Amino acid sequence: MKTSPFAAVLALLATLVLGTVLAPPALAHDTLKSSNPAKGAKVESLREVKLTFTATVRFPKVVVRTGDAAYQDGKAAVDGPAVTQKVKDDLPPGEYVIAYRVVSSDGHPIEGEIPFTLEGTPEPSATPEASATDAGSASASAAPPPPATASAPPSSPPAAELASDEEDSGGIPGWAWLVVGGLTGVGIGLFLSMRNKKQP
């Protein structure tokens, strides 16, 4: 049985279409799916790096570096598609790069770099109460001492006291004047009484 040219062309086209559809899955390689820290992220602290791939990977190697200094701690651990790398505790703030290399499930190597920035933990700001207390203490210490008030001159003694003092010091006391007046009155009375007796 001979095959017609038309049927042969159809068979060839079907083979090409089938090969085009099935080729991408066969040729596709595993890739990095996500990372923590993410590319370009800014973080306050970092204890470990975690990389997640689209399939199971093997033989992971991860380096966390800034300049020539490396801060990974120990070897990277792999669990299926997830790779975890511990980092040292003394990471100074700055710009870092995560350099990684793994072997994908089909045997092809996967490698790349992920830049991120470590900002460090911000220092706590002073509370408003503490600031007000500090400002009040500074104002109190800087304020000059109050001017000394002039002492009031001693008050003058009352006039009655002055008169009493003058009488005590040199004048005739008041009771002496009363005695003199009384005696004068008695003398005048006796004089008038005797005069009336002499008249007839």
pTM strictly above 0.75: no
| Structure-model confidence comparison of residues 72 and 122, the more confident one | 72
Question: Is residue 48's pLDDT more than 70?
Answer: yes
Give me the DSSP letters along 174-195: HHHHHHHHHHHHHHHHHHHHHH
Q: Look at residue 28 in the predicted model and tell me its pLDDT.
A: 65
Mean pLDDT along residues 71-96 = 96
CATH 2.60.40.1220 assigned to domain 27-118? The reply is yes
pLDDT digit string (tens) for 131-147? 555 655 555 555 566 66
Instruction: Give 83: exposed, middle or buried? Use CB within 10 Å, 0-12, 13-18, 19+.
Output: buried
Contact 98, 62 (CB under 8 A): yes
